[in-house]
Amino acid sequence: MNIKAADVKALREKTGAGMMDCKKALVACNGDEAEAVKFLKEKGLAAVSKRADKETLEGRIFVKNEGSRTVMLELTCETDFVANNKEFIALGESICTEALAKGYTEVNENLEKMIEELQIKIRENMSVKRLVAIDVPTGSVLSSYVHSDAKTGVLVLISTDSASAAEDDTVKQFAYDCCLHIAAFMPAFIKEDDVDEKYIAEQKEIFMSQVADMDKPDNVKQGIVKGKLKKHLASICFMDQPFVKDDKVSVAKKLEQIAKETNAKLTLEKVVSFQLGQ
């Protein structure tokens, strides 16, 4: 069958498939464009299906807000090349927009279907890995940060006891600096109360083994272990870490200082951090 170059070009523009694939599809479908589109889609889905077991260790973190709601998305793919593809970036932004418009708070089938078209076109496995949505109550401040490589994203929500404090630039800057801090140090926990008792017990055992051979009374050894544990917890808990913009005080102390400066009660309500692939 004689297939016109113009028809091949039109099908390519519509589907993004290669010229040869478009020509083969038109031949197979007797020149019917609609059937050729379907043919290419089925072929593309089959190709994507074969790659389903390929790990999606690359990708990007996206953050988008609208009104009082903010969403953060992790969209993954196989290669860094695709992660930096303009169409992949546009896809991530579209998924965020859809999640905001429909009020989605987690990954669902509708969002997963949105990646099919680009999967077929690029023939690379992709995944809508995770999505979180935060509604910002009146009198609260939400700040966000996505690192320049788009592989780390952080959301920080701070509540206040007054509308004026929520509009204060000092509070907003502190919330943003908290995002920077978390992105830089990726603390394992927010505060000491969040640390699992089993983890604490394991650390105590490690520190006890370190002091076991010391020629010191048991009560002194216990004191050393207690000090080591306190120092260790301070290093992995966000609120106890030296603040990124003022390492002479902890994050908790800095929060107290900002509260005093603004004459407001400030509370760290929520922290969400995404690291690509983790």
Under 8 Å between Cβ of 251 and 238:
yes
Q: Is the CATH code 3.30.479.20 the one for domain 53-135?
A: yes
Check residue 15 and give its pLDDT: 64
- Note whether 118 and 86 are within 8 A (CB): no
Mean pLDDT (whole number) for 71-100: 96
37 band by pLDDT with thresholds 50, 70 and 90:
confident
Q: How much is the pLDDT for 14? A: 67
Going by pLDDT thresholds of 50, 70 and 90, the confidence category of residue 122 is confident
Domain range list for the chain: 5-50, 53-135, 196-236
Predicted confidence band of residue 49 (pLDDT cuts 50, 70, 90):
very low
For helices 218-236 and 197-211, angle between their N-to-C axes, nearest 10 degrees: 130
| Tokens encoding 71 | 């969403």
* Within this chain, domains 5-50 and 53-135 share the same CATH topology: no
**What pLDDT score was predicted for residue 17?**
64
Q: Is the pTM of this model over 0.75?
A: yes
**Tokens coding 45:** 């889905």
What DSSP character marks residue 124? -
Instruction: Please tell me the CATH code under which domain 5-50 is placed.
Output: 1.10.8.10
Average pLDDT, the chain: 88
CA dist 133 → 63, 66, 151, 155, 211 (Å): 10, 11, 18, 10, 46
What pLDDT, in 10s, does the model give residues 141-157? 999 999 999 999 999 99
